[in-house]
Amino acid sequence: MKYILNIKSENAPGTLYRIAGLLLRKKINIESLHVKEIDRKHHISHFTIEIFLAPHLMAKLIKQIDRVVEVTHAEYHRAP
Amino acid sequence: MEKITGAQALMKSLLREGVDTIFGYPGGAIMPVYDALYDYKDSVRHVLVRHEQGAAHAAEGYSRLAGKPGVCMVTSGPGATNLVTGIADAMCDSIPIVCITGQVTGEALGTDAFQEAPIIGIVTPVTKWCYQITNAAEIPHIVAKAFHIATSGRKGPVLIDITKDAQFELCEYDDSIQTVMLKSKHDPYYQKKLKRAAALLNNAKRPYVLFGHGIALSKAESELAQFIEKGGFPAASTLLGLSSLPKSHQLYVGMLGMHGNYGPNKLTNKADVILAIGMRFDDRVTGKISAYAPQAKIIHVDIDYAELDKVIPAEVAIHADAKEFLAQLTPFIKSKNHSAWIGRFRKYDEEERKVVADAELYPKSGEIRMAEVVRLVSEKTKGRAVIVADVGQHQMVAARYYGFETPDSYITSGGLGTMGFALPASVGAKIAGPSREVIAIIGDGSFQMTLQELGTIMQEKLSIKIIILNNRHLGMVRQWQEMFFEERYSFVHMENPNFNKIADAYSIPNELVQDRRTLSPALERMLSAKGSYLLDVMVRRDENVFPMIASGAGVDEIRLT
């Protein structure tokens, strides 16, 4: 199943690396990736990541991403 | 404001966090901090380890007894990479430690400079959080943040990497920014779930409580006891949950998992309601997941919401601190007595005793057994010592047969299974709990992974008792080769050095025990000795640990032979 992850985080070095590491741990390939600061005042970045993953693993993965200290919000939905 | 160096700011920040002990090893890129440390010799005890891995394990052992983060400090490059095993170990077992590493100057970063290692890149996956400081003014805030992250929520290791120029740089020490905002999860259904959990437990015919390291981490020992006593619930422990409930407690039924007790595993698949608290359904506990308690309604309580529904789907999944949750749950629990159900555990105990335990606890002839050594230690210390166990057969035997009576009494490497953990961890434990009897129980293989820390024990004059259960083999691997690899013993025999001569070289009194008659008196001499003491005990070489759930088998397929 193809999913789109929407993640908000502190705009800090290493956050993308930490999230990518969680994907790597499960050998998940990144199909597409977009990162941009969306809130300059609070230094918040927004990630859009497309991945393929079995549905039963998606809910577990998003919690592990959400657990990252720098991440302020993480959600996913099925890609159209 | 008066300007101070980054190194001095780091020392002030550590003192502000209540740090009084640092396990470390100096080197080029951390020298400015060591120079600042020189002025704090009276307020901070620096313990010079013999290898950086030892610093990380010592910080873990310290944290387990002190109830606050252990701190270790090393140089860049190899100093930092040597910490990695200890950091990964702390990550698996949720132990708060704060690691400080020196780094090459900001200008040299990324140039393959001397002793440069990209330590942030290396440790990111095995830390809860890590950060590289390149500017001295950041230090007070980052140190406060590091300690807060290490000790809040699910605890864990953090690492601060500081470039050498930031250590030298002058800054105004501004510790006003101490507030660290971490996101918190508020569950609007918490009260509802709490009451649902209580209703399930109150109506259960065969309720069963499983507890893990979360009890010790949140200091919920008395809440746990009150809760199970009110409901009359039998309770079983994971490896890291051991000693959070006295083994002599009438509702304690034993240890879960691969080498746990017979009844607790068998009856996991007979309980109708299971409350699992402060544990994460590790594969060593569950065995084959599809065969794990399919009949039971499971209530899972954990401080890390990512653990809920990760391995075993829960009927009620509750994100909470163990201590707060138990304190809130107990008032809703009806006083009950489940004696018939608990009797089934006792029946299995009896079977385990007859088939496994009696023979190894009270052997009359043959070589010394690991179990009888642990039994004697347990009897002589009345179950009140701190046992620091390494990894392997001796770890399982110590877990099974030491009669833990007081909390925080079993320190071992659980999740990562790090051989070499015990000797350095015992250093940290003894420093955090100087009034407690600290006994390291170590296999001959594990001992040789970190035996250089005998030097730390000698220099710090620590009264640590070391028992080597020496079977001249990597016993656990040998057992698997015997049982599952058709006795093809592939590289598990060890030609060992004379451990007594090694202890002599470190001025640690020691004895060799080869014969059952001399075992008890030797243990007496060890325990009555004032300082450290090492006993090299020759035990049976081809011993197997039972009960056992074979890899891939379900919990109720646990074997006694």
Mean per-residue pLDDT of chain B: 97
Asked if the model's pLDDT at residue B39 lies above 70, the reply is yes
State the catalytic residue, choosing from B12, B17, B31, B115: B115
| Contact between residue B135 and residue B57 where contact means Cβ atoms under 8 Å apart | no
CATH number, domain of B168, equals 3.40.50.970
Confirm whether B545 is domain-assigned.
no
Interface size between A and B, measured as CB pairs under 8 A: 29
- Region at B308 (left for phi over 0; alpha for psi -120 to 50; beta for the rest): beta
Least CA distance to B156: which residue of chain A? A69
| Contact between residue B273 and residue B297 where contact means Cβ atoms under 8 Å apart | yes
Q: Do residues B391 and B470 both lie within one domain?
A: yes
Alpha helices by DSSP H, B330-474 = 339-352, 358-361, 370-381, 393-401, 422-432, 444-450, 454-460
Q: Do residues B500 and B455 both lie within one domain?
A: yes
Q: What is the pLDDT of residue B179?
A: 66
List, run by run, the mean pLDDT of 10-residue segments along chain A (80 residues). Answer: 97 96 97 97 96 96 96 95
B295 is catalytic: no
The distance of B231 to chain A (nearest Cα, Å) reads: 33
Q: Do residues B217 and B294 both lie within one domain?
A: yes
Q: What is the pLDDT of residue B175?
A: 79
- Region at A38 (left for phi over 0; alpha for psi -120 to 50; beta for the rest): alpha
pLDDT in tens, B495-554: 999 999 999 999 999 999 999 999 999 999 999 999 999 999 999 999 999 999 999 999
Q: Do residues B313 and B233 both lie within one domain?
A: yes
Confirm whether B554 is domain-assigned.
no
Q: Do residues B54 and B168 both lie within one domain?
A: yes
Q: What is the pLDDT of residue B185?
A: 78
Percent of the residues in chain B that have a pLDDT greater than 90, as a whole number? 97
**A contact test, residue of B120, B183, B308 with most A CBs within 10 A:** B183
State the catalytic residue, choosing from B68, B128, B145, B164: B164
The distance of A5 to chain B (nearest Cα, Å) reads: 17
Give which of B425, B431, B420 is closest to B410, Cα–Cα: B425
Q: Can you tell me the distance from the alpha carbon of B429 to that of B422, in angstroms, rounded to the nearest whole number?
A: 10
Asked if the model's pLDDT at residue B336 lies above 90, the reply is yes
Q: Are strands B207-211 and B273-277 parallel, antiparallel or unpaired?
A: parallel
Of B183-187, B194-198, B238-242, B364-368, the one with minimum mean pLDDT is: B183-187
Q: Can you tell me the distance from the alpha carbon of B444 to that of B262, in angstroms, rounded to the nearest whole number?
A: 28
Q: Can you tell me the distance from the alpha carbon of B231 to that of A24, in angstroms, rounded to the nearest whole number?
A: 45
Is residue B309 within 8 angstroms of chain A, CB to CB? yes
B487 is catalytic: no
Asked if the interface predicted TM-score (ipTM) of this complex is over 0.85, the answer is yes
Contacts of A18 in chain B (CB under 8 A): 124-125
Confidence at B289, pLDDT banded by 50, 70, 90: very high
Q: Using DSSP, how many helices (H) and how many strands (E) does chain A show?
A: 2, 4
The distance of B319 to chain A (nearest Cα, Å) reads: 12
Q: Do residues B300 and B387 both lie within one domain?
A: no
Average pLDDT of the residues in B252-266: 98
Contacts of B304 in chain A (CB under 8 A): 67
How many CA atoms lie less than 13 Å away from B128 in the CB half-sphere? 29
| Contact between residue B419 and residue B446 where contact means Cβ atoms under 8 Å apart | yes
B31 is catalytic: no
pLDDT in tens, B172-218: 998 776 666 777 778 899 999 999 999 999 999 999 999 999 999 99
Q: Do residues B164 and B238 both lie within one domain?
A: no
**A contact test, residue of B129, B142, B158, B160 with most A CBs within 10 A:** B129
Instruction: Specify the CATH number of the domain A2-78.
Output: 3.30.70.260
**Record: contact A59-B120, CB cut-off 8 A:** no
Segments forming the whole domain that contains residue B223? 190-345
**Record: contact A21-B124, CB cut-off 8 A:** yes
Average pLDDT of the residues in B388-414: 98
| Contact between residue B478 and residue B492 where contact means Cβ atoms under 8 Å apart | yes
Helix H, strand E, coil C: the string for B192-216 is: HHHHHHHHHHHHCCCEEEEECHHHH
Percent of the residues in chain B that have a pLDDT greater than 70, as a whole number? 99
Q: How many domains does chain B contain in total?
A: 3
Q: Do residues B507 and B395 both lie within one domain?
A: yes
B164 is catalytic: yes
Q: Are strands B273-277 and B297-302 parallel, antiparallel or unpaired?
A: parallel
What are the tokens at B366?
A: 């043959």
Give which of B72, B57, B60, B67 is closest to B21, Cα–Cα: B72
Of B82-96, B170-184, B339-353, the one with minimum mean pLDDT is: B170-184
Q: Do residues B320 and B398 both lie within one domain?
A: no
Least CA distance to A73: which residue of chain B? B183
Q: Do residues B166 and B209 both lie within one domain?
A: no
Contacts of B305 in chain A (CB under 8 A): 63, 67
Q: Do residues B159 and B291 both lie within one domain?
A: no
Confirm whether B329 is domain-assigned.
yes
**Record: contact A14-B130, CB cut-off 8 A:** yes
Is residue B92 within 8 angstroms of chain A, CB to CB? no
Say whether B437 sits in a helix, a strand or coil: coil
**Record: contact B310-A60, CB cut-off 8 A:** yes
In order of A12, B206, B295, B560, the CA distances from B254 in angstroms are 46, 16, 21, 15
Q: What is the pLDDT of residue B178?
A: 63
Average pLDDT of the residues in B239-250: 98
pLDDT in tens, B298-317: 999 999 999 999 999 999 99
Q: Do residues B138 and B93 both lie within one domain?
A: yes
Which residues on neighbouring strands pair with residue B302, listed in sequence order?
A: B319
Confirm whether B146 is domain-assigned.
yes
Q: Least CB-CB distance to A67: which of B120, B304, B309?
A: B304
